[in-house]
Amino acid sequence: MTIDVRHLRGFLAIAEEGNLTRAAARLHITQPALSRTLQQLEAHLGGRLVDRSTHHLVLTPAGHAFRRRAAAAVAAVDHALDPAQSREWPVRLGHAWSALGAHTTTLLRRWKQRHPETHLELLRVDDRTAGLAAGLVDAAVIRSPIVAPGVRSERLTAEPRMAALADNNPLAGRASLTLADLATQPLALNTVTGSTTLALWPTGGAPTQVLTVKNTDDWLAVITAGDAVGVTVSATAAVHPNPSVRYVPLTDAPAVDVHLAWREPVSHPAVPALRRLARDVVDGAAPPPNGLPA
């Protein structure tokens, strides 16, 4: 039996729906046909992917691991077969928030100068891998480590942490702040992609009031409203300036490492060139003379 993308789509539908009947209806096939598709896939892989012992189907540990690979494979197939990509194959750079900060514009413009034949598409994806694990991007700017088979990364820089406060907050006029200064304030935490957790504070010294959000837009909204303060990095101040927000340096908070991550083998032949350019831009290297390779 040859396994193809139909089997992967069937498995992903089951994983998302948790029910064979709903998954089959979503795919416009019969439940027995979908059940056979799952059995064929499991037989090919040599193990159970789905626990069928309860009415609500759940993934086995092997199923959870395979789900990431299946999602990446299906995304790559869909991208390759998209008619909109027939004339151009862009290299996709993901980020969860703030991209490369003040370096972002330089990266985009210099890429366009050096590689006019290949569009660099900057995509914000609200997950910790910025779309890399799901195969939505070819490379990603990340501020949290990725531990996954086939993923490689290199450190580009470190960004100092800053407090983000509403402009009418009594602390907003300070030249600098400490973590202790923020401990009595409600704290906004982006629990999906943010680099800040309560572990940043010493034991017993963390804020006791926490507002959880799921993306940068919502994080900024609660801060501008004066409902909470936030901790971020210098890139956010560069990419999200706001007259109602003050970004103040934090003197006792460790910097955040910024990495560029990609998969090997690479999903786009331009990834090595993107890696070199990102390094040049962050390091402040001048563009090479005309005619020299990027």
Q: How do the pLDDT tens digits run along the chain, 294 residues long? A: 688 999 999 999 999 989 999 999 999 999 999 999 999 999 999 999 999 876 678 999 999 999 988 988 888 787 777 665 545 789 999 999 999 999 999 999 999 999 999 999 999 999 999 999 888 999 999 998 888 778 999 999 999 999 999 999 999 999 999 999 999 999 999 999 999 999 999 999 999 999 999 999 999 999 999 999 999 999 999 999 999 999 999 999 999 999 999 998 899 999 999 999 999 999 986 655 443 344
Amino acid 75: pLDDT: 82
Domain annotation for the chain: domains and CATH numbers: 5-83 (1.10.10.10), 88-158+257-283 (3.40.190.10), 161-254 (3.40.190.10)
Question: Cis peptide leading into 265, omega within 30 of 0?
Answer: yes
259, HSE (Cβ side, Cα atoms, 13 Å)? 18
- Angle between the 5-17 and 20-27 helix axes, to the nearest 10 degrees? 130
Amino acid 252: pLDDT: 97
Burial state string for 168-204 with b = 16 or more CB within 10 A and e = fewer than 16:
ebeebeeeebebebbeebebbbbebbbbbeeebbeee
Amino acid 1: pLDDT: 65
- At 161 the three-state DSSP class reads strand
Residue 244 vs residues 69, 212, 223, 224, 286: alpha-carbon distances, Å = 43, 20, 9, 6, 35
State the Cα–Cα distance between residues 168 and 176, nearest whole angstrom. 16
> Cβ(153)–Cβ(262) under 8 Å?
yes
> Cβ(43)–Cβ(29) under 8 Å?
no
Burial class of residue 127 (count of CB atoms within 10 Å of its CB; 0-12, 13-18, 19+):
middle
State the Cα–Cα distance between residues 127 and 20, nearest whole angstrom. 27
What sign for the dihedral angle of Cα 158, 160, 163, 168? negative
Say what the pTM is: 0.71
